[in-house]
């Protein structure tokens, strides 16, 4: 690759300042996150915040944080937010949205939180077609407690609570959340995306935007599942973690649109 060096004059103090084109979104605080190197949460937080800024809804958005690695999401989003009990974020978001239908309400949940202990809450929020947006990060393990098996753990994957590898005959099969929710009439948008490559990350952000758009249009429940990396608990390097998503997780969790309401427009 060749590098082009632009010849240009140094700006003088009186010249128009350079336009800052990459900066912290207003919907993020300037607090450094506690996430591990190579974790996808930080980048996903940023994309959610960018979307909130771009849609111009920061002043009327309320976030609901989960229990799990993203438990402090409320510190990182520069929004009104609250912290739910483990798995209960969709119920809490339901309460918020029902009494403030003019506000934009989203939950940010991991796979243990949403797909295991919060299975009933997410299922029924989707069934009711709650006008909320769910950002669902799937890294196939319980991260915060140290890498135990989650309902999303893929077959054969070694975790601290499936040390011989997940045996699906005794420990059950991986759960596919957007595929499960997509057939429900109340669901307007149910897709899966992945963080394993830059081109894929662009699609993640587009999907997050569509999910918020669904709520703004009032067409129903929206959820984006995002395959994220957990190098710490997968015991691989950050770059190998991206390959792990591509080679191991994608075959089990294909990216795709499982439901896109015809009324949705970008």
Partner 1 sequence: MARELWKGNEALAEAAIRAGVDAFFGYPITPQTELLEYMARRMPELGRTFLQAESEIGAINMVYGAACAGARAMTSSSSPGISLMQEGLSYIAGSEVPCVLVDIMRGGPGLGNIQPGQADYFQLTRSAGHGDFHPLVLAPATVQEAVDLMTISFDLAFQYRTIVIIAGDGALGQMMEPVTLPPMRPPRQERPAWALTGVDGRQPNIITSLYLDADELEQVNLRLQAKLARIAAAEQRWECYLTDDADFLVVAFGTVARIARTAVRTARAAGIRAGLFRPISLWPFPAPALDQLAARVKGVVVAEMNAGQMVEDVRLIVRGRAPVRFLGRTGGVIPLPDEIASELTHMARIDAHANGDRG
Chain positions contacting partner 1, by CB under 8 A: 58-62, 64-65, 71-72, 74-75, 77-85, 88, 91-100, 103, 120-121, 123-124, 128
| CB of residue 191 to partner 1, shortest distance in Å | 24
Contact 134, 63 (CB under 8 A): no
Of 252, 178, 192, residue with least CA distance to 221: 178
Pairing status of strand 256-260 against strand 80-83: unpaired
Query: Which residues are paired to 7 by β-bridges?
Result: none
> Which of residues 82 and 168 has its CB atom nearest to partner 1 in the complex?
82
* 94 CB burial (10 A radius; 0-12, 13-18, 19+): buried
> Which of residues 168 and 216 has its CB atom nearest to partner 1 in the complex?
216
| CB of residue 155 to partner 1, shortest distance in Å | 30
Structure tokens at 11: 């700006």
| CB of residue 68 to partner 1, shortest distance in Å | 12
| CB of residue 166 to partner 1, shortest distance in Å | 27
Distance CA(129)–CA(135), nearest Å, equals 16
Note the maximum CA span of the chain: 72
> Which of residues 144 and 236 has its CB atom nearest to partner 1 in the complex?
144
> Which of residues 175 and 226 has its CB atom nearest to partner 1 in the complex?
175
Q: Sign (positive/negative) of CA torsion 59, 114, 84, 121?
A: positive
| CB of residue 124 to partner 1, shortest distance in Å | 4
> Which of residues 83 and 179 has its CB atom nearest to partner 1 in the complex?
83
């Amino acid at each position: 690759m060749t590098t082009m060096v632009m010849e240009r004059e140094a700006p003088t103090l009186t010249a128009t300042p350079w336009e800052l084109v990459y900066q912290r979104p207003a919907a993020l605080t300037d607090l450094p996150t506690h996430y591990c190197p190579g974790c996808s949460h930080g980048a996903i937080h940023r994309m959610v915040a960018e979307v909130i800024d771009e849609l111009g809804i920061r002043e009327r958005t309320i976030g609901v944080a989960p229990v799990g690695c993203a438990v402090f999401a409320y510190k990182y989003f520069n929004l009104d937010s609250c912290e739910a009990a483990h798995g209960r974020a969709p119920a809490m978001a339901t309460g918020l949205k029902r009494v403030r239908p003019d506000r934009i309400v989203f939950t940010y949940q991991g796979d243990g939180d949403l797909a295991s202990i919060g299975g009933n809450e997410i299922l029924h929020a989707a069934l009711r077609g709650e006008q909320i947006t769910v950002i669902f990060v799937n890294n196939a393990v319980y991260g915060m407690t140290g890498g135990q098996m989650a309902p999303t753990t893929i077959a054969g994957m070694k975790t601290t609570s499936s040390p011989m590898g997940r045996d699906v005959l005794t420990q059950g099969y991986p759960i596919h959340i957007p595929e499960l929710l997509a057939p429900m009439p109340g669901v307007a948008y149910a897709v899966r995306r992945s963080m394993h490559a830059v081109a894929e990350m662009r699609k993640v952000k587009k999907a997050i935007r569509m999910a918020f758009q669904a709520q703004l249009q009032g067409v129903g429940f929206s959820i984006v599942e995002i395959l994220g990396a957990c190098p710490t608990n997968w015991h691989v390097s950050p770059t190998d973690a991206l390959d792990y998503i591509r080679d191991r997780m994608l075959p089990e969790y294909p990216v795709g649109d499982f439901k896109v309401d015809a009324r949705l427009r970008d």
